[in-house]
Structure 1
């Protein structure tokens, strides 16, 4: 099952500078405003991420990149 729309992404955690989403496959993806990057967690519970720097540091671009990464990595 792939994600069809960006609106299918629902945050599982939202803090001051961090937002996290979980893919249908269980991988967590984090957006760090301080880094201006998003990344999938490298292993369950590791708190280590494979960061991808965003062209523009905002939530819209972060959600687009996470959507793209989920569909590339899992489907």
Structure 2
């Protein structure tokens, strides 16, 4: 099941420099402000991420990237 709109994407965790989301299928996504990147978990519970560098380092761009990755992964 893919997400229909970005507003459907709610953080599972939010800290000072880290925000995490979980897709409907269970994959975790992590934005680290210090890295200027969004990580897509490589396997359930592995805590190993495939990192995607952002063009702009802010939460809005991170959320858009996570939304895009979830919808690519779900289809």
TM-score range with shorter-chain normalisation?
over 0.9
Unmatched runs of 5 consecutive residues or more in structure 2: none
CA RMSD of aligned residues (A): 0.8
Cα offset, 1:73, TM superposition:
1.0
Farther-moved stretch of structure 1 (58-67 vs 41-50): 41-50
Cα offset, 1:29, TM superposition:
0.3
Cα offset, 1:47, TM superposition:
1.6
Q: Distance in 1 between matches of 2:47 and 2:26?
A: 14
Cα offset, 1:4, TM superposition:
0.6
Look up the match of 1:15. Answer: 15
Q: Distance in 2 between matches of 1:37 and 1:58?
A: 10
Q: Which runs of 4+ in 1 moved over 3 A?
A: none
Look up the match of 1:47. Answer: 47
Q: Distance in 1 between matches of 2:74 and 2:4?
A: 13
Cα offset, 1:34, TM superposition:
0.5
Q: Distance in 2 between matches of 1:46 and 1:2?
A: 23
TM-score, normalised via structure 1 length = 0.95
